[in-house]
Amino acid sequence: MFVDSHVNLHGEKFAGDLSDVLSNAQSAKVSAMLNICCNLKDMAAVIDVTGLSDTIWASVGTHPHDAKDNPNITAADICAYTDHPKVIGIGETGLDFHYNYSDRDAQLRNFQAHIEAVRESGLPLIIHTRNADEDMEAILKREMAHGVFKALLHCYTSGERLARAATEMGCYFSVSGIITFKNAHDVREIASWIPEDRIMIETDCPYLAPVPHRGQRCEPSMVTLVAEKLAEIRGWSIEETAQKTSDAFYNFFDKAKRPKNNPEA
């Protein structure tokens, strides 16, 4: 059974056929998934999706693209949702200096508020980072020095230096359909040595559909293709890949409960 550690199911892309999408996931042996909040205004919709299955979970946070929408966000704003039984993580948050949809200062303030929410809630942090390797490394080192916390660098496409530094700090990583893309050599190389007990798989659906579906709407059932590519890269069987990535998910998001039919539950 597979876990899709990062989905976006509450938007208009799935408004017309979400029940079919979830059925497809079940048929593909996707046993659980984490629905990600990218803006606090969407939190009700994010949580609504979790009501469709016992093993759909939620995060709470504001994406760096949307930092401008919550310019004065505080840890208290985020932690207002963390007591909900389905909310298991903080984010996604972080830094994106590629698109710069929000200015640098807004992104930095937003990221800091999420780190403070992690400290207050005890929930782990889900990080988006793009074209911000030096800043991300510096912030993580500074904040970890004040007290270690769980952090996941999702859909990792950044450089080797940040990956090495994050590994030393105990961070987890997730890989997406990008590892199937023809020219994603650097992403596959990093995926080959990330600690085997700290790697997850994700779709980031509806984005980043893996080959041979690239360019189409992505959905959670396609996480099996990510798993197959990771298995190839690591020299694992598909069963080992499912087990290792699922174990990493439940070890990291320890508020989530394994499905009752899972022998490790």
The model's pLDDT over 46-105, given as tens digits with 9 standing for 90+, comes to: 999 999 999 999 999 999 999 999 889 999 999 999 999 999 999 999 999 999 999 999
Q: Please name the helix (run of DSSP H) or strand (run of DSSP E) that holds residue 215, with its range, or none.
A: none
**pLDDT score of 166 more than 60:** yes
Answering whether pTM is above 0.85, one says: yes
The torsion angles phi and psi of 44, rounded to 5 degrees, stand at: -60, -40
pLDDT category, 108, cuts 50, 70, 90? Answer: very high
Contact indicator for 173, 152 with CB cutoff of 8 Å: yes
Vertex 148: Cα angle to 144 and 149 (nearest 5): 105
Statement: residue 263 has pLDDT above 50: no
Distance of CA 155 to the CA centre of its chain: 7
Q: How confident is the model at residue 262 (pLDDT cuts 50, 70, 90)?
A: low
Alpha carbon distances (Å) from 219 to 14, 203, 250: 9, 7, 21
Dist CA 38 CA 59 (whole Å): 9
DSSP tag of 205 = B
What token pair was written down for 170? Answer: 């105990």
Which CATH code, of 3.20.20.140, 3.10.20.90, 3.60.20.10, 3.40.50.12160, is assigned to 2-252? Answer: 3.20.20.140
Residues 230-241 have a mean pLDDT of: 98
End-to-end CA distance of the chain: 13
Query: Residue 67: which H helix or E strand, with range?
Result: none
Helix, strand, or coil (residue 170) = coil
| Residues with Cβ within 8 Å of residue 66, at least 6 apart in sequence | 38, 39, 101, 102
Rounded Cα distance between 234 and 213, Å, is: 22
- Given this model, what pLDDT does residue 61 score? 97
Mean pLDDT throughout 206-219?
Answer: 97
Is the pLDDT reported for residue 32 higher than 90?
yes
Residue whose token pair is 């996480």: 223
pLDDT higher than threshold 50 for residue 139: yes
Interior angle at CA 150, CA 53 and CA 87, nearest 5: 25
Q: Residue 143 has which token pair?
A: 């904040």
For residue 107, pLDDT over 90 is answered with: yes
pLDDT at 261: 63
Please state, rounded to an integer, the average pLDDT across all residues of the chain: 96
